[in-house]
Every structure is written in C-alpha cells, then in structure tokens.
Structure 1
C-alpha cells in the first residue's frame, strides 16, 4: 500500500499546462464553499471550481485593467522604513556615549503606567524620528514636547535648545522685512501724501531675544514620524496677545491663514508657536527641589527676578504618595507670560536713546510720574498650590497611577486649564507631555470679543456742523440787505470817480 506522503506528493504535483496542483485547488475550493455556503453545494461545485481557477488569471486577462495605486499608508510606511535603517558610518562607541535625547522608551513606559501617552509603537517611531532630527540639525538637547491634534493631520512637537550661532541667523531673517518696509516708505514718500488720520496705533512691544523668555527654546514639528521636520519661527508678543483672545482648531498645514477676530498676525505656524509658548508656561512643572535658582554674582543682579535655573545635585527625591496628595511638592520651572506677551516686562514709555540725549533733566522729571507701573509675574519655581482657580475649576488634579501597588506607582498630575497636559514623577525622574487640541478651558462657553466702536469721521464744530435751512422770510431779508450793501458800494465808487475828475 502507498503511504500518505506519496499521496500528498501526487496531489502537490503541478500541471504542465496551468502550473497548478490539485492540493492547492481543493484547499481554495473548500474555503470558498465555507465562506459562501451555497444552498446546493454539490450541484454548483463544478461552477465554483471554475470560478476559483478564473480568479487566479483574472489580473492577466486584460491589459486595460487599472493597476492598484499606492495608498498614503503605503507611502508613509516606505518613509518610516528609513527610520529603522542603520547608517554604516555610526560607531557603536558613539551610541553608548551620552546623547542629546532622553530615554524615550522609559518615558513611554511611565506614561503608560499613568494611563496617558501615545503607545509603544508610535513612541518608538517618534524616538527614531527625534534621533534623526538631532543628527541632521546637530542639536545640543532635544525632547518630545507632545502632540497637538488637528482636523486634517496632527503635529508631533519636539523641543530643543538653540545651537551656537543660530541667534545671528534669526536676527538676520528678522531684519530683512524691516528693510523692505523702509524701501516701500521711500517710494510712497515720492507720491502725493494721503490724508492724515487721527488714529494712533498701539505701541509695538519688542520681541524677546533668542534663548530668553518665550523664545528660550526652538521647536520642530512634523505630521508623522518619518516625514521631514519643520522649524517653527520665533514668537512675538503680539501673536501671544491675539492667541489669548481667539479659539481656532489646527488644520495640520503650517501655511494655512488664521481667519479670526481680532486678526492674527501670521499663519498657522505662528499660531502653533504661540500656543506652544502658552502651554509650556502654564503646564511645565517639576518636583520641588529638583531645580534650584542659579546663583549670580553682583548685588544688582540679585534684586532682579531670576529667569534661569540649574539642576540641584543634592536632590534625593520626594515620596510618590506625598506628591500625589499635595500640590506644594510641584513647582513651575518655566517663566510666566505677562499680559504684555513677554516673560520680562518692558517699559514702552521710555523714548529711544537718541531723543533721551537731547532732552533736559526737567523733562525727565516731568515724565517720571506718567510712567506705568512695571508688571511682575510669579517668580520662577513657584509651587502649584498658589495657582488660582478659573471658572470655579481647580487648576490641577493629582493622583497615584495605582492604588493597589502604591510602592511601585508613580505620581500623576493633570492640568484642568489645559486639557491634555500631564506630568509624572517617580523618585528622581519626571517628565511633562501634552497630547490635546491646543485649546484652553474656557468655562461654560466662549464668546468672541466685540469689535470696537467705529471712529468718528469728523469733529463737531462751527466750521463743520451743518446749519438749518433758512425760511422764505429770512431769505428775503437777507436778499434786501445784500442789495442795500451793493447799492451803497456803487455810490461810494461813483463819488470817488467824481472827485478824481475834479482834481484833474
């Protein structure tokens, strides 16, 4: 008797005409029967067998058939495959050395324990994308800031420190538009001047220098890991001021114009940068004692508010249960943004240096009482327990990641004013992340600001205000007076002519 192996080998023997075997054909036929479950399977088994054979050659029957197009997911997968390719030039010793990137896998693990984050697969792809960003841009430090959701696509945000010499590049790009404006002014001055307006625009608040205040860090964004990173521009006080008054969802395209009232000075890239600055100033927190104020020499510098900090080498950590129970063990380590749109107040009443030299001491004494009072925000490293409530909602909520195993849990902090901002702490380790729509909590509802009253076209006065039309009697009296005045003038001219003739 023949063995089962010989029977299977016979069934697996391919045909010389169709290059098929009966084993695979019967397998596909039985699967088709089980999927469709016809009423009379025995009667239609031959037709189903013919359909199975026809499906194998359906793609090659006609050359006019449209080929399947590559989907967006396949294109993205091809670009993300490059993240997993290892460069041959990189040495193993350089990888073991200290890198500008934190341990993103460890951060993702703690965020997963806290019940937030982006998932292990996406965190791994983001880590490889951040690694490529650091290598291409030569960044000294870089971290995952978070993810801002959009209606079309999302933004993955990376926070990095400025490189040496990058400040000069930013200043050059900022000065270019001013020169173009001056050229336009010179061209306009050659033409006839337009009528002057009494409107006085508000004073322009100067932008903070690169590496200070709201522009302390530089931010890069991309829609998906593997796509190119785009550097966001610096933020100006005017952009932060208007961003506080509007509410707009992001579209996922940086060049999209922001249509709002008040009008926003920029596109979506500038609006995204302004929202990142606001979220960082309100939600970037750390355990009490992890950072300490940087000591600076000089008595005058000690009186000024501290705007820098350094890591405290003597920090030993705070118990997780205490950090989950009290907000006094958490502090802000990012400067507060004032109402002026800056982290440090600037006096707009001070005139430029050229005019200050020409003025006398008497003028300076007269201007001193009119100077506005400097605005002072909360100092750096202020505890969260001093944060004020808004709309009857506490600004923060704290908890343990697990009450069943508190000895292995982490302290989790959630912002109620900026939904999507989270922070965790465990021993000497902590991290901040934001995953949300980039919108601040506005209470029960949001109402846009009302436009200002229209400016008056003219000032009321004797030369401008219209008078009432005269009546018929008044017109007659006026006409008689004009006729008498004209007759008297003619008589005076005649008498003057007669006197001239007598003299001759």
Structure 2
C-alpha cells in the first residue's frame, strides 16, 4: 500500500554503520512530508463523482498539486529545501547532523562496537530530533507544532521567509499565524463633535454667580 513500511528479514544486519548515519545520505523520511495544507496528500479527484466539486475548486487543487508535489516516504532528507541551499554551500538548510560522545571503536570477539551517538535535528521544526546508537534509534518531538523560519535561509528570488512559518506573516499565505505586515501609517480619523449637548456656562457672561448673603 501507499506510504507503508514493511519490515523485512535481516533488517538489523543491514542497519547503516556509524559513518553512514553521520551523513545526510544515511537518513530518509519514515513518514510522508507535510504539505502547506497540513496534510500529507492531495485529494483524489478521480475518485469523486462528476459534479461533486465546482470546476473552480478542481482547477485550484490541480494548480496546488503541480506547484507542491507530494513527497513519499523513504526519500532522502538531503533533498529537503534544496531550493534554499547556497550554490557553494554544504550540508542541508533543513537538517543538522552531529556526532556526540566517545567516537572510538572497540574490538570484541564477535564484532566491533562504538558508543557514539548521532543526532539529527530539524531546523524547520525546532524540537524534532532523531538519535541513533548502534542499531537502536528513537524519534522525539517537543515543540509548538509550527514551522520556524529563523534558522532557515529565505527564498532566493523573493527574499521572503519560509512559507507557513511563524512568526513571519509575509511567508504565511497558506497558513497565516500572524497579522499582516504593516506597510503604511493608518489614516487620521476625522474629529467629531461631542455627542452630549454642551452645558450653558452662565459665568461666561461676566455675571457673578455667587448669591449675596441676606
């Protein structure tokens, strides 16, 4: 079935080595990537009966599908945000890979072992991390469930931040998370007269308002 992982025999024996998981090429996506709609796939328009959706809606969905294709599972993470990678830059604009701990390799009677830990951190979803040690790995996410544009370079052509990221509103056409950008000062409002009637000020006529003692 689509986007399902099947466990095969001998998976542990073919688990990537330490040198492989220390590179971007050693990691793939275990789940489909999220689209700007917050889903992993576009609607299957062919399965709908004719007339279910207006023609304008169908054209809009097809335009979105063409501009933002679906990404299947097991795609290499090195291809993420490839359009933001500098021409002479190395690494990934979306991921950071780092090795921690003792990097030595020890020889045992049956095999060689290393106690190093490799961590892969997401720069788009702060708080998302995967760690691996030997043939063990774990995925963890502790965050606000929103993208972040502060650690990612802006788009080269427009200079706008990552689409759908907070707190920048100019990059949030599909997923607004902040007010619109303030471009001009607001117009001055016309002053209006006091709605309550003005009180008559008798003292303004120059008369003495204090009564004389009899």
Q: Normalising by structure 1, what TM-score? A: 0.23
| Larger gyration radius, structure 1 or structure 2 | 1
Structure having the larger proportion of residues in helix: 1
Structure having the larger proportion of residues in strand: 2
